[in-house]
Copies of this chain bind each other. A is one copy, B any other.
Amino acid sequence: LRVITLTTDFGYKDPYVAEMKAVILSINPNVTLVDISHEVKRHDIYHAAYLLLTSCKYFPLGAIHVVVVDPGVGGLRKSIVIRTRRFTFIGPDNGVLFPAAVEDGILEIREIRNPILLRRKVTSTFHGRDIFAPIAAYLSLGIDVKHVGPRLSIGEVRKLYLPKAIVIDDNTICANIIHIDNFGNVITNVKERQFADFLGKASFIEISTKSARFVVPVVKTYSEVEEGSLLALINSEGFLEISVNKGAASEVLNVKRGGKIYIRRKYDSAF
C-alpha cells in the first residue's frame, strides 16, 4: 500500500478535500491516504512548508506528499513534481515543497505538462483536484515520473528558505519564530547542534522580545519547572522551543510566528 499525504488550506467546511480524495481513489483504490493538515492558514505557504518539512521524514519510503496551498492557482506559476531520495513531492511551484525536498535531497524536478495524466477538464481554480490529485494517484500506481513532463533544473523553480538563526556575537543569537503550536509553544529556528555549541555550560538563557526580557532555565522536559513557568528546551523536531509548563508561552512572551527574539547565555537565573 503506497501512502499519499495531503496538506492544504481548505478546511473541512467545503467539498474540496473530499474531491481530491475521490479523484485519487478513483484512479488507485489501494492507496493509504493520510491528512497532514487541512488547517494550514489561508494562503500561508510558510505554515505549510513547516508542516511538510517536520512531518514528511517519518513517512514510509516512497510516500507521495501533495501540498495545495496555492494562492497563485491558474496563473503563471508552474505545477511541479520533485523526486527526492525517499519521497515524491507534488504541488504548485511557489516554494512550498522546497524546504522539505531540499532536506531529503532533490534527485529530479519535473514540470507537470502531460494532459493524459490529468483530469480531462482542468479548471483554472482547483489544480489540487484536477492536476495534483491525479498525478499523485498515477505515480502511486508506479508510473515513471518522466511521463509527467519535462525536466526542470533547480535554477528554474521557486525557492523558499526558512530563515536561519544568526549568531550576533559570542553571547547572542538572533532567532526567528518559525511556528507557534496548538499548545502555545514558541518554536524557533535555532537547531539542536547550534544551540548546544552556543549554550556551553550555561543553564539559563535570557530571551528579549520587542517589549520585554525573560530569564528562562534550559531543561529537558516541560515538567521540570513549576506549572505556569517559562522554560526552554530542544523540542521533538530538533528546534529550540520556549514553553510554559501547562500554559501558553506565546501569550506570556506576547509573540507571533515570524517575529524575532534575541537569546543570551546566562549562568544563573538572575536578571
Chain A interface (Cβ < 8 Å from any Cβ of B): 1, 3, 5, 9-19, 21-23, 25-26, 29-30, 32-40, 42-43, 47, 50-51, 54-56, 58-60, 63, 71-76, 123-126, 129-130, 179, 181-183, 220-224, 233, 235-237, 241, 246
Do A29 and B26 touch (CB < 8 A)? no
Chain B residues near A51 (CB-CB < 8 A): 14-15, 18
Known: A18-B37, A43-B246, A58-B19. A125 touches B74 (CB 8 A): no
Do A75 and B29 touch (CB < 8 A)? no
Identify which of B35, B37, B71, B130 contacts A236 (C-beta below 8 A): B130
Copies of this chain, count: 3
Inter-chain CA distance A9–B9, complex, in Å, is 20
Closest 5 CB pairs of A and B: A74-B221, A126-B236, A75-B223, A22-B58, A15-B55
Identify which of B21, B42, B43, B221 contacts A125 (C-beta below 8 A): B221
Do B19 and A54 touch (CB < 8 A)? yes
New contact pairs (11) apart from A13-B40, A15-B51, A22-B60, CB-CB < 8 Å: A10-B182, A13-B182, A18-B37, A18-B55, A22-B63, A23-B58, A42-B182, A75-B221, A124-B221, A125-B233, A126-B236
Inter-chain CA distance A39–B182, complex, in Å, is 10
Do A223 and B39 touch (CB < 8 A)? no
Do B246 and A125 touch (CB < 8 A)? no
Do B38 and A18 touch (CB < 8 A)? no
Min CB distance A69 to B, Å, is 11
Inter-chain CA distance A36–B221, complex, in Å, is 27
Closest B residue, CB atoms, query A29: B1
Identify which of B74, B220, B241 contacts A222 (C-beta below 8 A): B74
Do B32 and A3 touch (CB < 8 A)? no
Chain B residues near A21 (CB-CB < 8 A): 34
Min CB distance A73 to B, Å, is 7
6 contacts between A and B (CB under 8 A): A14-B51, A14-B181, A18-B34, A43-B246, A73-B221, A125-B233
Chain B residues near A19 (CB-CB < 8 A): 54-55, 58
Closest B residue, CB atoms, query A133: B58
Chain B residues near A237 (CB-CB < 8 A): 15
Do A220 and B55 touch (CB < 8 A)? no
Min CB distance A97 to B, Å, is 15
Identify which of B17, B74, B221 contacts A220 (C-beta below 8 A): B74
Inter-chain CA distance A72–B223, complex, in Å, is 6
Min CB distance A63 to B, Å, is 8
